[in-house]
Structure 1
Amino acid sequence: MTEDEAPRRISSLEDRNAIVESALDKAIRRGDFDDLPGLGKPLSGLHNSEDPDWWIKQKMDSEDMSGVAPAAFQLRKENAVLEDTLDAFSKEADVRAYLAGFNDRVRAAIMDLREGPPVFTPPRKVEDEVAAWRQRRSAKTALATNPPPTPTDGRDQERERPPRRWWQRKRS
């Protein structure tokens, strides 16, 4: 509809559909839809139609927003990857400092009853986590210095294979 045309009352659904279709056709002919981002790509998020908040989760992923969830959810997510996070540190002092900060955040979230759902993430015992970190670190260095033996010849693998059962043998 251009500016010189006066808006008219639409009487039926068919008239409304015809007006929308003609407006879309005019826009396509003008090239208004050319060079749009995502042109020719499938729409993401359509497979997850049961989640009513799929659009906000998609926006948060595209904008890389991570600190928006309530503390209980953030701590649960952080707790799930805590060992991997600790393994990234090279000094024991850094591991202890991170665990102290994590425990402080857990205790603060437990005490703050105003924000979000209840917190079920327990504080971690620093000494136990540091001992586990040391053990994982020593196992990783031992594996790096002494790799497991690999068979060099295919014949060794044939000898170690169990004998074939009667139903597995080919008929000759």
Structure 2
Amino acid sequence: MNDVDARMDRLRRAARYRYQQLVDSEIERGSLDPDEVREERRLLQAADVAAHARAQIEQAERRGAFEGNPYHGKPLPGNDGRHDPDWWIKSKIEREDIRGIAPPALSLRTEDAELDAHLDDLSVETDVRAVLEDFNARVKEARRQLLGGPPVVTPLRDVDEELSRWRDRRQARQQADARAAAERAAASEDRPRRWWQRRR
């Protein structure tokens, strides 16, 4: 060992000693939990962290910590080979239908999937146009944000084309309702009348 290596080794040992003294003083003051510190020290001393992780998983399996876990021994859903650090929160938002707290990319995607049904509930064309323009404005605003998170891939809606589709769907519903009403009327005329319904 040359002089530089020996000096670096002394500096490392001194730094470890100072860190140890600082941790011990924080434990005495009560700002650090001694059990957590002991566990952290044990982890740092472990030669093979992967072996330690495997041992922890095996201990948890023996304790039954994974009982009832739907993903135990199976690949995670939605994992198509790409790493997505937000997979868990995305699946929770979808599974529990959480609204209002999701990042704009996710909430706009959900809203886009349900937009046609929402538009079909409206009866005035100006309301449909207003909803579409508001949706497009929020998609544009979400694309301009620099807050991070998943990218916004929701497409803008062509207002005139969507209005035309809304009119077609509305006309088809009205025709289906008229046919159903005519069939009900025809069915009620074909039924024989009961004695209390007969005219005198």
Indicate whether 1:46 and 2:70 are aligned: yes
Aligned residue for 2:134, secondary structure, equals: helix
Report the CA distance between 1:132 and its aligned residue.
0.5
Counterpart of 1:66 in structure 2: which amino acid?
R
Counterpart of 2:177 in structure 1: which amino acid?
A
| Cα offsets for 1:81-108 (capped at 9, x unmatched) | 2111111111111111111110010000
- Structure-2 residue corresponding to 1:138: 171
- Structure-1 residue corresponding to 2:109: 76
Aligned residue for 1:133, secondary structure, equals: helix
After superposition, the CA RMSD in angstroms is 3.5
Q: 1:87 to 1:97 in 2, by over 3 A?
A: same
Report the CA distance between 1:50 and its aligned residue.
4.8
Aligned residue for 2:99, secondary structure, equals: coil
Q: 1:69 to 1:139 in 2, by over 3 A?
A: same
Among 100, 103, 123, the alignment partner of 2:133 is 100
Q: After superposition, where does 1:110-129 map in structure 2 within 5 Å?
A: 110-129=143-162
Aligned residue for 1:141, secondary structure, equals: helix
Gaps of 5+ in 2: 1-67, 78-86, 188-200
What TM-score results when the alignment is normalised by the length of structure 1? Answer: 0.51
| Cα offsets for 1:109-137 (capped at 9, x unmatched) | 11113231211111111111011101100
| Cα offsets for 1:34-53 (capped at 9, x unmatched) | xxxxxxxxx7x736875597
% identical aligned pairs: 39
Q: After superposition, where does 1:85-96 map in structure 2 within 5 Å?
A: 85-96=118-129
Q: After superposition, where does 1:3-14 map in structure 2 within 5 Å?
A: none
Gaps of 5+ in 1: 1-42, 153-172
**Structure 1: distance between partners of 2:92 and 2:105:** 21
Higher-Rg structure is 2
**Structure 2: distance between partners of 1:73 and 1:87:** 22
Q: 1:56 to 1:83 in 2, by over 3 A?
A: closer
Contact residue 70 and residue 115 of structure 1 kept, 8 A = no
Aligned length in residues: 109
**Using CA pairs below 8 Å that are at least 6 residues apart, which structure has the higher relative contact order?**
1
Q: 1:60 to 1:110 in 2, by over 3 A?
A: closer
Indicate whether 1:109 and 2:118 are aligned: no
Q: 1:59 to 1:82 in 2, by over 3 A?
A: closer
- Structure-1 residue corresponding to 2:194: none
